[in-house]
């Protein structure tokens, strides 16, 4: 053990039933290259599984990828479960296909950032770093 | 009176546990305090190491192993299982992609299982510097089984054997010929050898190769078969821990085939360690190893605090000019720090 060191830990999860994880993998890789420790959980995660993994891994950030359109169901549920576990300080970031009209409500619920197709990974990296300062 | 952090861990609070793991992993003052408070409660868990080359199926096997432990029918209460899974840190960015959970989805939702991924953070040898600390936290928190999955290992990542009571080395068919089986290193540390993916072609050859290797390493009694003749050996059979001959087991981790046998072998090994007194020997080795590592780090950081950068730079410059040998320089730098 050298001097104390801490790293930004991020859980990348694919919530719900869609099986497209290319975006999640690209983001995971980019965050890794930015010096973060990225826990990748794979496909078809339920809100309960995501919350359990976030607790066990003690992550600063949960990055959700949702392309199925179920975000208005999944996101509130995950935020509620995180709170129940005492993980109020976990930041939630969302990527995927999220219609503009849903964004204000998601932000109000506590989502820290929402990213659609074409977002530069640099933007995501900077937003996460800022949120974790 | 508020419950202390370590008390909360002993009480089984998962949030306290996960936060403690982070503090210990980051080597903070709070983490050290927690380890200190928990230390008297450690020494009860069966520490199982799982190692092997990348892609041999370590995570999938760990998944099955944990599932089987949780379903074990013989004891009324199945043991609680903690998993520490180590993946490599990038030497370039310092980041890491920890993907072992992907193979452990079957374990979700079981409160008797706790999975923690950790990055190697620059440590060599297959583990992270803080892995032993994390294992101690789980041990104190009452997990009866702690499974430690190493970084995908090659030939020389043998640190796991110093940490675990029982070490499983996973091989897969087609990774090399018999010469690989007589090399020194990772195969020597196995208490149990597993040939995973044993439904693949070549599995028989791998199993046979490993069994042959074991006949050479652990001759039956003091005899070895040489050119069809049974020859007596006059080696000292009790060199180290030679009473245990490693099992060689075929498994298919994706389907769970062979896993019950593996669990049985592990509990046999556990009984063997306890009854032969080797448990104590390994505990002593493990704690000695930890003590020496801590001592080395402490001495180094004390030295770093005391040595002035000028003296260090001057010595380095002299070495560069070949005016001073590195060996003399070390002596000078230690004296220069007043140690």
More confident residue, B260 or B122: B260
| pLDDT of B198 over the 70 cut | yes
Q: How confident is the model at residue A30 (pLDDT cuts 50, 70, 90)?
A: very high
Q: Are residues B324 and B276 in the same domain?
A: no
Give the pair of three-digit tokens for residue B198: 């044993």
Which residues in chain B are closer than 8 Å to A7, comparing Cβ atoms? 94-95, 119, 121
- Report the pLDDT value the prediction gives residue B146, as an integer from 0 to 100: 98
Interatomic CA distance for residues A53 and A56, integer angstroms: 5
Closest CA to B149 of B66, B87, B194: B87
B266: Cβ contacts below 8 Å, ≥ 6 apart = B46, B48, B166, B168, B192
- B94 and chain A: CB distance < 8 Å anywhere? yes
Stated length of chain B: 339
CATH number at residue B189: 3.40.50.300
Residue holding tokens 């180290």? Answer: B240
- B121 and chain A: CB distance < 8 Å anywhere? yes
Would residue B10 count as lying in a domain? Answer: no
Q: Are residues B131 and B249 in the same domain?
A: yes
Q: Are residues B241 and B312 in the same domain?
A: no
Q: Are residues B154 and B183 in the same domain?
A: yes
- Report the pLDDT value the prediction gives residue A24, as an integer from 0 to 100: 92
Which residues of chain B from 263 to 302 reach within 8 Å of chain A, CB to CB? 293-294, 297, 301
CATH number at residue A118: 3.40.50.280
- Report the pLDDT value the prediction gives residue B179, as an integer from 0 to 100: 67
Q: How confident is the model at residue B126 (pLDDT cuts 50, 70, 90)?
A: confident
Let me know if A25 is exposed, middle or buried by CB neighbors in 10 A (0-12, 13-18, 19+): middle
In this complex, do B121 and A33 lie within 8 Å of one another by their Cβ atoms?
Answer: no
Q: Are residues B319 and B176 in the same domain?
A: no
**Domain count of chain A?**
1
Structural domain range at position A32: 9-126
- Cβ contacts below 8 Å, chain A against chain B, sum to 99
Structural domain range at position B331: 307-336
Interatomic CA distance for residues B151 and B167, integer angstroms: 14
Would residue A133 count as lying in a domain? Answer: no
| pLDDT of B59 over the 90 cut | yes
Longest Cα–Cα distance in chain B: 75
Q: How confident is the model at residue A81 (pLDDT cuts 50, 70, 90)?
A: very high
Which of A39, A62, A86 should one mutate to test binding to chain B, selecting the residue with the greatest count of B CBs within 10 A?
A39
Contact predicate B83/B114, CB 8 Å: yes
Q: Are residues B219 and B327 in the same domain?
A: no
Residue holding tokens 């939630």? Answer: A92
Q: What is the pLDDT of residues A86-116, one digit of tens each?
A: 999 999 999 999 999 999 999 999 999 999 9
Which residues in chain B are closer than 8 Å to A87, comparing Cβ atoms? 15
In this complex, do B98 and A39 lie within 8 Å of one another by their Cβ atoms?
Answer: yes
What average pLDDT does chain B have?
Answer: 87
Q: Are residues B155 and B287 in the same domain?
A: yes
Q: Are residues B116 and B205 in the same domain?
A: yes
In this complex, do B95 and A42 lie within 8 Å of one another by their Cβ atoms?
Answer: no
DSSP-assigned states of every residue in B152-211: P--SS--THHHH-SEEEEEE-TTS--HHHHHSSSGGGG-SEEEE-STTSTTHHHHHHHHH
Q: Which of the residue ranges A20-34, B162-176, B205-219 would you say has the lowest mean pLDDT?
A: B205-219
- A52 and chain B: CB distance < 8 Å anywhere? yes
- Report the pLDDT value the prediction gives residue B64, as an integer from 0 to 100: 96
Would residue A103 count as lying in a domain? Answer: yes
- Report the pLDDT value the prediction gives residue B227, as an integer from 0 to 100: 54
pTM of the model: 0.88
Would residue A42 count as lying in a domain? Answer: yes
- Report the pLDDT value the prediction gives residue B268, as an integer from 0 to 100: 95
- Report the pLDDT value the prediction gives residue B157, as an integer from 0 to 100: 72
B281: Cβ contacts below 8 Å, ≥ 6 apart = B241
* β pairing state of B223-226 and B229-232: antiparallel
What average pLDDT does chain A have?
Answer: 92
- Report the pLDDT value the prediction gives residue A1, as an integer from 0 to 100: 35
Which residues in chain A are closer than 8 Å to B94, comparing Cβ atoms? 7, 35
Q: Are residues B268 and B323 in the same domain?
A: no
Would residue A3 count as lying in a domain? Answer: no
Q: Are residues B313 and B204 in the same domain?
A: no
- Report the pLDDT value the prediction gives residue B150, as an integer from 0 to 100: 93
Q: Which of the residue ranges B97-111, B147-161, B219-233 would you say has the lowest mean pLDDT?
A: B219-233
- Report the pLDDT value the prediction gives residue B183, as an integer from 0 to 100: 66
- Report the pLDDT value the prediction gives residue B231, as an integer from 0 to 100: 52
Interatomic CA distance for residues B170 and B195, integer angstroms: 6
Interatomic CA distance for residues B20 and B32, integer angstroms: 10
Q: What is the pLDDT of residues B265-317, one digit of tens each?
A: 999 999 999 999 989 988 888 888 888 888 988 888 888 888 888 888 999 99
Q: Are residues B184 and B312 in the same domain?
A: no
Instruction: Give the three-class secondary structure for B230.
Output: strand
Give the pair of three-digit tokens for residue B90: 């990038």
**Domain count of chain B?**
2
Q: Which of the residue ranges A50-59, B109-118, B179-188 would you say has the lowest mean pLDDT?
A: B179-188
Interatomic CA distance for residues A76 and A107, integer angstroms: 11
Q: How confident is the model at residue B338 (pLDDT cuts 50, 70, 90)?
A: confident
In this complex, do A58 and B105 lie within 8 Å of one another by their Cβ atoms?
Answer: no
Residue holding tokens 């999220």? Answer: A98
How many C-beta neighbours within 10 Å does residue B284 have? Answer: 10
**ipTM score over 0.85, yes or no:** yes
How many C-beta neighbours within 10 Å does residue A98 have? Answer: 20
Mean pLDDT of B236-264: 82
Would residue A21 count as lying in a domain? Answer: yes
Share of chain B above pLDDT 90, in %: 56
Q: Which of the residue ranges B110-119, B127-136, B183-192, B237-246 would you say has the lowest mean pLDDT?
A: B237-246
| pLDDT of B73 over the 90 cut | no
In this complex, do B108 and A48 lie within 8 Å of one another by their Cβ atoms?
Answer: yes
Q: How confident is the model at residue A2 (pLDDT cuts 50, 70, 90)?
A: very low
Q: How confident is the model at residue B161 (pLDDT cuts 50, 70, 90)?
A: confident
Q: Are residues B242 and B286 in the same domain?
A: yes
């Amino acid at each position: 053990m050298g001097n104390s060191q801490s790293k930004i830990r991020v859980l990348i999860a694919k919530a719900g039933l869609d099986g497209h994880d290319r975006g999640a993998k690209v983001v995971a890789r980019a965050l890794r290259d930015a010096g973060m420790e990225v826990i990748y959980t794979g496909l078809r995660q339920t809100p309960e599984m995501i919350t359990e993994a976030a607790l066990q891994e003690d992550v600063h950030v949960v990055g959700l990828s949702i392309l199925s359109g179920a975000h208005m169901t999944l996101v509130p549920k995950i935020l509620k479960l995180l709170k129940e576990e005492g993980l109020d300080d976990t930041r939630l970031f969302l990527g995927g296909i999220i219609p503009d009209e849903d964004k204000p409500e998601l932000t109000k619920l506590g989502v820290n950032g929402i990213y659609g197709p074409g977002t530069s990974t640099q933007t995501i990296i900077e937003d996460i770093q800022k949120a974790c300062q | 009176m508020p419950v202390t952090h370590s008390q909360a861990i002993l009480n089984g609070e998962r949030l306290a546990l996960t936060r403690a793991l982070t503090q210990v992993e980051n080597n903070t003052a709070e983490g050290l305090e927690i380890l200190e408070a928990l230390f008297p409660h450690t020494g009860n868990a069966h520490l199982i190491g799982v190692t092997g080359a990348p892609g041999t199926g370590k995570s999938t096997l760990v998944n099955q192993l944990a599932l089987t432990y949780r379903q074990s029918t013989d004891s009324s209460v199945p043991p609680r299982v903690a998993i520490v899974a180590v993946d490599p840190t990038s030497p370039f960015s310092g980041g890491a992609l920890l993907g072992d959970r992907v193979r452990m989805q079957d374990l979700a939702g079981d409160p008797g299982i706790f999975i923690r991924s950790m990055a190697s953070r620059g440590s060599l040898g297959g583990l992270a510097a803080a892995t032993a600390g994390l294992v101690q936290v789980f041990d104190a928190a009452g997990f009866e089984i702690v499974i430690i999955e190493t970084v995908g290992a090659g030939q020389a990542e043998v640190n796991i054997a110093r940490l675990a009571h029982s070490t499983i080395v996973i091989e897969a068919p087609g990774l090399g010929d018999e010469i690989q089986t007589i090399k020194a290193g990772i195969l020597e540390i196995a208490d149990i050898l597993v040939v995973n993916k044993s439904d693949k072609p070549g599995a028989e050859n791998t199993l046979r190769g490993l069994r042959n290797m074991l006949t050479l390493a652990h001759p039956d009694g003091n005899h070895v078969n040489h050119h069809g003749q049974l020859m007596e050996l006059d080696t000292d059979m009790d060199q180290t821990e030679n009473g245990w001959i490693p099992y060689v087991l075929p498994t298919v981790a994706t389907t769970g085939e062979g896993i019950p046998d593996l669990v049985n072998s592990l509990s046999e090994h556990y009984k063997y360690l306890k009854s032969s007194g080797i448990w104590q020997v390994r505990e002593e080795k493990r704690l000695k190893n930890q003590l020496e590592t801590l001592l080395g780090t402490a001495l180094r950081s004390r030295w770093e605090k005391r040595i002035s950068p000028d003296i260090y730079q001057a010595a380095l410059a002299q070495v560069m000019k070949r005016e001073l040998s590195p060996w003399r320089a070390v002596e000078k730098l230690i004296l220069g720090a007043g140690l």
